[in-house]
Amino acid sequence: MARVIRVLLVDDDALVRAGLSMMLDGVAGITVVGEAGDGGEAIAAVDAHAPDVVLMDLRMPGVDGITATRRLRARARPLEVIVLTTFDTDENILLALRAGAGGFLLKDTPPQRIVEAVTRVAEGDPILSPQVTRRLMDDALTRAGAYEHARAALAALTPREREVALAIAHGRSNAEIGAELAMGVTTVKAHVSSILTKLDLDNRTQIALLAHDAGLA
C-alpha cells in the first residue's frame, strides 16, 4: 500500500486550521491527524498523533512557532516542519530554517503548492516559496558584497591597526587593548584615530561592524 502522509496543523486561528484541514484531507495520500492552537499544544499533539509533517504558524500565543519547531526537531524521533505564515521578514525566515524547518511558505501560497510542499518535505526535500527564495538570494548577495568590501577596507590597515580593530570588535576598551597588545593608551588612541581616518568611519561601533562583516569577529 502507498504511504499516507500524516499531517498536524498548528495555528492559533481556527478558521485557518479548518481551511487547511478541508484542503489536505481531500488529497489522496495525505491525512490530517490533529490540530493545535499554539506551539505548546503542538508538542502534546505530536505525542498523541505521531504526524510525519507539521504545518506550523509562527506568531501564536504561548509557545511560538520557532521555539516549537526547534523543540520538535531536537526530539529522538524528529519530524518535518513546514512553516506557514504571513510574516516573511528576513529574521523569521532565517530563524525558522536554523530551527530546522524543512519548508517556509506564505499563507497566500496556492493550495496545490502547499500540497506539493507537504509531499516533498515528507520525503526529505526542503521547499521554500518563490518569494522566500528570492529574499534569501538577495540577502546572500548583500552579505557577500559587504564581506568583500569589509575585507578590502581592512586590508588598507597596518597589521597593528588590524589588531586594534579586532580588539574593538571584541568590545575591548582602550585600556584593555593597551594591556592586551602591550602599548600605552595614548598609542591605542592614535591607532584608533588612524583607523577611523583610513576607513572614513565616524566611531568605534562602525569599526566593530566592519570587522564583523569581514568575518573577523
Residues 109 and 9 in one domain: yes
**What is the mean pLDDT of the segment spanning 50-58?**
95
**What is the mean pLDDT of the segment spanning 27-36?**
95
Nearest CA among 47, 90, 49, 85 for reference residue 64: 85
For 172-181, how does the pLDDT look when each residue is reduced to its tens digit (9 = 90+)? 889 999 999 9
Residues 118 and 150 in one domain: no
Please report whether residue 186 resides in a domain: yes
**What is the mean pLDDT of the segment spanning 21-49?**
94
Residues 97 and 169 in one domain: no
**What is the mean pLDDT of the segment spanning 56-71?**
92
Question: What was the pLDDT predicted at 141?
Answer: 62
Please report whether residue 184 resides in a domain: yes
Please report whether residue 140 resides in a domain: no
Please report whether residue 205 resides in a domain: yes
Q: What is the mean pLDDT of the chain?
A: 88
CATH number for the domain that contains residue 104: 3.40.50.2300
Residues 186 and 119 in one domain: no
Number of domains forming the structure of the chain: 2
Residues 111 and 150 in one domain: no
Identity of residue 179: A
**pLDDT of 1 higher than 60:** no
**pLDDT of 118 higher than 90:** yes
CB 82 within 8 A of CB 110: no
How far apart CA 205 and CA 208 sit, in angstroms, is 5
How far apart CA 158 and CA 192 sit, in angstroms, is 12
Domain that holds residue 206: 146-213
Question: What was the pLDDT predicted at 213?
Answer: 84
Please report whether residue 134 resides in a domain: no
Question: What was the pLDDT predicted at 138?
Answer: 65
Please report whether residue 55 resides in a domain: yes
**What is the mean pLDDT of the segment spanning 20-41?**
94
How far apart CA 37 and CA 62 sit, in angstroms, is 9
Domain finish residue from 97, 128, 159: 128
Burial group, residue 209, by CB count within 10 angstroms (0-12, 13-18, 19+): middle
The confidence band for 87, taking pLDDT boundaries of 50, 70 and 90, is confident
**pLDDT of 57 higher than 60:** yes
Percent of the chain with pLDDT over 70: 92
